[in-house]
Structure 1
Amino acid sequence: MRNWGRDTFISLRGLFILTGRYQEARYPLTYHILGYAGCLRHGLIPNLLDGGRKSRFNCRDAVWWWLYCVQSYVEEVPEGSAILQDKVSRIFPQDDSPPQPPGTVIRVFIMNPGMVLISRILSCVAYFPQDQPLADVIQEALTVHFQGLCFRERNAGREIDAHMTDRGFNNQIGVHPDTGFVFGGNTYNCGTWMDKMGSSDKAGLRGKPATPRDGSAVELVGLCKRSLKWLATLHEEGKFPHGSVTRGKRDGSRMTWTYRQWEQKIASSFEPVFFVSVHPSNKEPRPDLIHHRGIYKDTHGSGQPWADYQLRCNFPIAMVAAPEMFDPQHAWTALQKAEESLLGPLGMRTLDPEDWAYNGFYDNSNDSDDPKVAHGYNYHQGPEWVWPIGFFLRARLHFARVVGGESELRRVVAHTRSLLARHFTELQNSPWRGLPELTNKDGAYCKDSCRTQAWSMACLLEVLYDLNQYTVDASHRVVYTDLFFRFSQYLVGVVMTPPSWGWDCRSLSPRPTNMGSFMPVVPIGKPEPATTLGVLAREHSVPFRASDRPASIYNQP
């Protein structure tokens, strides 16, 4: 099954939780929170699901996005904390278990040092059901990371990846004891969303990842910090049964951190390690690699040291996940740098245009010997991806008020509205009624981009939701909420209003099979759709006509 764990959980909050589709977010029939939990192995959520049979555990980030969604479910869904006690049917109860059908009882051999035979150890047989509460699955994931694990992918070789070299199938995850940062990977694999593997023999790229991002990737540090803070609080409130993790050391001793200790270690380490100071400092380990100052590094401890200092679009994700981890002035400076260098019409450039590796035009069919672009090697080396702009805009909304008060927040809100107008124009003109995966340089059409992608829509829905929270003007809040409905009805056909928004909504028919015909979601007693939907575009001079939309959209049920 071509189902991506990472993409699923980047998309889940915007598409399911904010739209009120709580059961679909929770239950395993659609392989979401509980379904993927059942596939946990090596402390990781699979990248490629394959029905749970030959899942690939070759990404380090899906488990942190999964935890991001579990937290969102618990905090934003009525009685959401009940999910922590939901039973998870484990497909792989042990790391070496073959896939198990639901309800299987697992036989485990336990070494009992308390009884002495000739071998001085008695092997006992115990039976455990593979079903366990979600809270225990979460604890296992964090414990495995804290202990650290090196493993090799099953079926390594051309059967599962025609391009990767042998060393790329070797994976590692762990937690650095000095900083608390999660780390992993190597220069032969690519375990985050920037996962392009070279495949061109002519250009000498086969088996060479374009963006390994090994070491500690900035967004994973932020997502981990967020999860630890949340779990520590839940444990202190008596709502989560686990409050610490323990690792065995080579000398036989054991080390235990509470979740609060782990979270605080990350907090105290982050700024000194990741922020590239505006002014030269003798504390910077590789000043010779600095091109931009006043930014946050993309990684820490990469096998390619220069990659740590590249300006990319990932640090705003950490800002949204764990804003308290950032010095507000530093964060604002870095966001301004990102706006200057990375912000495109619809998405964020995936690499600084001044970087030697930058190329903003993605062509997967390029068969040249140019190592920058052959076989689309620059997939994440410049093209402008849509989903990261959601986190950039959300980070700006948060820090605008912190550093500049209400006046700066109003300015940023207005600018955010002008930027979103482009997305609504794109939405109207798209034959798929959706937002693309990416664009080429300066928003140019990319023939190899997916024309409509879940995480592009989901992350923009999260921006609209945040705009509603930050906006004090009631008339604007009406517009944002209505636009939220428009966005979501295009994608899913049916939207249930989250209780926190306080709006009623008409019942709608199920999702239409004809992608060109949609039934509108209209808040009762609110302005006509043609009026509110065009507000942003009209106010910011972006071409938009309500008549551009299919007439069927205006037909009421």
Structure 2
Amino acid sequence: MLSLPASILQNYNEAISHEWLETNGLGAFSSSSVINCNTRRYHGLLVAAVVPPADRMVLVSKLDETIISNGNKIQLGVNDYGAAIHPKGYNYITGFTKYQFPEFVYEVDGIQLKKTIAMVHHENTVLVIYDVIKADQPFTLELLPLLAVRGYHNLMHANGSIHHEASFGNGILKTNAGNGTPGIFIKVPGSTWQCNADWYYNFHYNIEQSRGLDHIEDLFTPGALSVTLKQGDSLGCIVSTDDPHAKNAYDLLQQEKIRRRALLNNQPDNETLQQLLFAADQFIVKRAVDSEEGATVIAGYHWFTDWGRDTMISLPGLCLSTGRYDDARKVLLAFAKNVSKGMLPNRFQDNGEPPEYNNVDGTLWYFIAIYKYLQATNDFPFVIKEILPVLKEIIDWHYRGTRYNIHADDDGLLYAGETGFQLTWMDARIGNWVVTPRMGKPVEIQALWYNALIIFAELLALNDQPADAAIVRTSAVRVKESFLQKFWYAEGNYLYDVIDEQGRPDATLRPNQLFAISLPFPLIDDGKAAAVLAVVTEKLYTPVGMRSLSPDDARYTGVYEGDPYKRDSSYHQGAAWSWLLGAYIDVIMKLDGSGNKARTVINNFRYHLNEGCIGSVAEIFDADAPHRPKGCVAQAWGVAELLRVIKEYGLLENKK
């Protein structure tokens, strides 16, 4: 069980660097800092997915608590108003733990109160459970809902258009605060309501401020709810977009406990693995496909939607390593139905906008995901009937040429790039400036292209097309020959990162070369692989991820911070990426199958699960020590790749 002591929780500046996250399998979430002081525009008690998994809205920002005992009013909430932190309820938090759910313990005036927060699967519903562990005498708990009612990328400011009307009955407060927004229901059994519609002004979100973004918001309340409690009591509250009159918070919590416990079935009894399994569950969400229930992967919380590249890289770890084969099948089919001109969508957008196709690698990662799905399930009928025709279309388009000048060149290698577009995973762009354009023939694209051809040939053979399979294998041999001729940088003893549009090799030392070794069908022999591993380990490895650029490079940036321009310009110029540890461990295991070195990598990483977003894996980290977590607090491929290699190589079994 992950936990934080009072010494951290009662230190405001330290406490707000730790966060918690609950999700619901629809793209919605509930999240804040561990002292429940919102530090991001994305924090909220109920951030609903109006059109799953997108159109997310921060409906209920907070539910601030006040204990009224012995004539004293003690506020447990914590808010940043810029010039002041008020109230300072963090002084009363004595414990935070995270196993299945985040739990908080408050101690004040002879009262010990435990709060549990949970989201209900496939509902825009949050449960808040208060258990009175100790109380010398009865007391009143007052709950103040603070509403934002806005898109999750935006901020709310006091205005006259918000609806002040609310109704209350049988312990349920109902309001439709904004035009065209979902209704908000707050059920507090046995409560009374004091109608006092008002605005609270100037909440400061310090992380948004540090990111150079708008960071001040006003929140609206329809009034406060109050209930009397005593020692041994438990209060189960429901915050939802659906009417909860017939629902019981404890029944919903028990159902969710059972569902989450089932995620651990047939899995090793290992705490690190269990936390990763719970984290993995947060990214797999519903997406309707042709009016049928499909599935997809949220790339990261709090602000990403589903991206093709991230989904295909994450699928083996999130779905196959966890035995969620039906989800994997739904994801593969959902993307198959959105292939256009031989390309998978780079991302699905919010608000029903058409998918974007500006990537070269997501489509190739699709082949890897399918290959691993087939290995895990032996689901030949699905792959041959539903997927193989799509793969043929993809290969044909890549030879014919598709968007962004993506095409197989005369040497068999795959060329990609047009001025002003970012197509690889190193995709930072500021206006018209592509920070790492990598136009031409990037090293990992060749590794993926080679693997795609080999996998396609194997599937053709399985479909009784030996002649077609032989032709594709010949093409793959050509790719490998050209790669070995052009990509080995003898002076540095590693692989060039890209052969640019002029045919010039780029010797920038980056981690992308790992994929020439780590993928199912490697492009270089063990001798060269060992040389690459040595250089990459020396210059790029950190305990939490692989640096995106060598510290020896003049463009290297050791700390990821500042306004959008500064951050985006350093996104792939040093920042350490957690997901790349998967490929790094693959290479280690191919060269040393004992698992000892790989276990050391995992053990070095484990501390991170108790920092940042507790129980999950951050997107990136500062390249320089102490490698503070940055970017998205919970990233799908970071969780997935660690989970994949741990399960694939048995790196944590029978070890705590």
TM-score range, shorter chain: 0.5 to 0.7
Matched, 1:176 2:409: yes
1:259 equivalent among 467, 472, 475: 472
Amino acid at match of 2:415: F
Instruction: Look up the match of 1:394.
Output: 586
Identity %: 27
What is the DSSP-based 3-state SS (H/G/I as helix, E as strand, rest coil) of the residue aligned with 1:348?
Answer: strand
Q: Deviations over 1:54-97 (max 9, x none)?
A: 111111111011111011111221x32222245xxxxxxxxxxx
Q: Deviations over 1:141-187 (max 9, x none)?
A: 000001113x4xxxxxxxxxxxxxxxxxxx11100122x11111134
* Counterpart Cα distance in 1 of 2:518 and 2:398: 23
Query: Are the aligned partners of 2:549 and 2:556 in contact in 1 as well (CA < 8 Å)?
Result: yes
Q: TM-score, normalised by structure 1?
A: 0.60
1:134 equivalent among 384, 387, 390: 387
* Counterpart Cα distance in 1 of 2:426 and 2:467: 33
Superposed counterparts of 1:486-505, under 5 Å? none
State the Cα distance separating 1:335 from its structure 2 match: 1.0
* Counterpart Cα distance in 2 of 1:54 and 1:304: 35
Instruction: Look up the match of 1:46.
Output: 345
* Counterpart Cα distance in 1 of 2:522 and 2:567: 41
2:599 equivalent among 395, 413, 417: 417
Amino acid at match of 2:635: Q
* Counterpart Cα distance in 2 of 1:443 and 1:467: 28
* Counterpart Cα distance in 2 of 1:303 and 1:208: 19
Query: Are the aligned partners of 2:517 and 2:587 in contact in 1 as well (CA < 8 Å)?
Result: yes
* Counterpart Cα distance in 1 of 2:548 and 2:408: 26
What is the DSSP-based 3-state SS (H/G/I as helix, E as strand, rest coil) of the residue aligned with 1:229?
Answer: helix
* Counterpart Cα distance in 2 of 1:378 and 1:303: 25
Query: Are the aligned partners of 1:182 and 1:221 in contact in 2 as well (CA < 8 Å)?
Result: yes
Change (3 A) 1:40 1:431: closer
Q: Deviations over 1:238-286 (max 9, x none)?
A: 3569926xxxxxxxxxxxx8211111111222212111114xxxxxxxx
Larger helix proportion of the pair = 1
Aligned length in residues: 352
State the Cα distance separating 1:211 from its structure 2 match: 0.6
Instruction: Look up the match of 1:107.
Output: none
* Counterpart Cα distance in 1 of 2:624 and 2:521: 29
Query: Are the aligned partners of 1:384 and 1:441 in contact in 2 as well (CA < 8 Å)?
Result: yes
Change (3 A) 1:428 1:273: same
Q: Deviations over 1:320-352 (max 9, x none)?
A: 115542022111111100001100121001011
State the Cα distance separating 1:416 from its structure 2 match: 2.1
State the Cα distance separating 1:399 from its structure 2 match: 2.3
Superposed counterparts of 1:297-446, under 5 Å? 297-302=496-501, 305=504, 308-365=506-563, 374-400=566-592, 409-410=593-594, 413-444=595-626, 446=628
Matched, 1:35 2:313: no
Instruction: Look up the match of 1:285.
Output: none
Query: Are the aligned partners of 1:17 and 1:25 in contact in 2 as well (CA < 8 Å)?
Result: yes
Instruction: Look up the match of 1:70.
Output: 370
Instruction: Look up the match of 2:50.
Output: none
Superposed counterparts of 1:145-184, under 5 Å? 145-149=398-402, 151=403, 171-178=404-411, 180-184=412-416
Change (3 A) 1:215 1:421: same
Larger strand proportion of the pair = 2
Amino acid at match of 1:209: V
Give 1 or 2 for the bigger CA radius of gyration.
2
Instruction: Look up the match of 1:229.
Output: 454
Q: Deviations over 1:416-439 (max 9, x none)?
A: 222211222211345431111111
Runs of 5+ in structure 2 lacking a partner?
Answer: 1-53, 55-304
State the Cα distance separating 1:381 from its structure 2 match: 0.4
Change (3 A) 1:416 1:134: closer
Runs of 5+ in structure 1 lacking a partner?
Answer: 87-132, 152-170, 199-205, 245-256, 279-292, 368-373, 401-408, 469-478, 483-531, 534-557
Instruction: Look up the match of 2:66.
Output: none
Instruction: Look up the match of 1:270.
Output: 483
1:20 equivalent among 312, 323, 326: 323
**RMSD, aligned CA:** 2.3
Amino acid at match of 1:387: W
Query: Are the aligned partners of 2:438 and 2:500 in contact in 1 as well (CA < 8 Å)?
Result: no
State the Cα distance separating 1:415 from its structure 2 match: 2.5
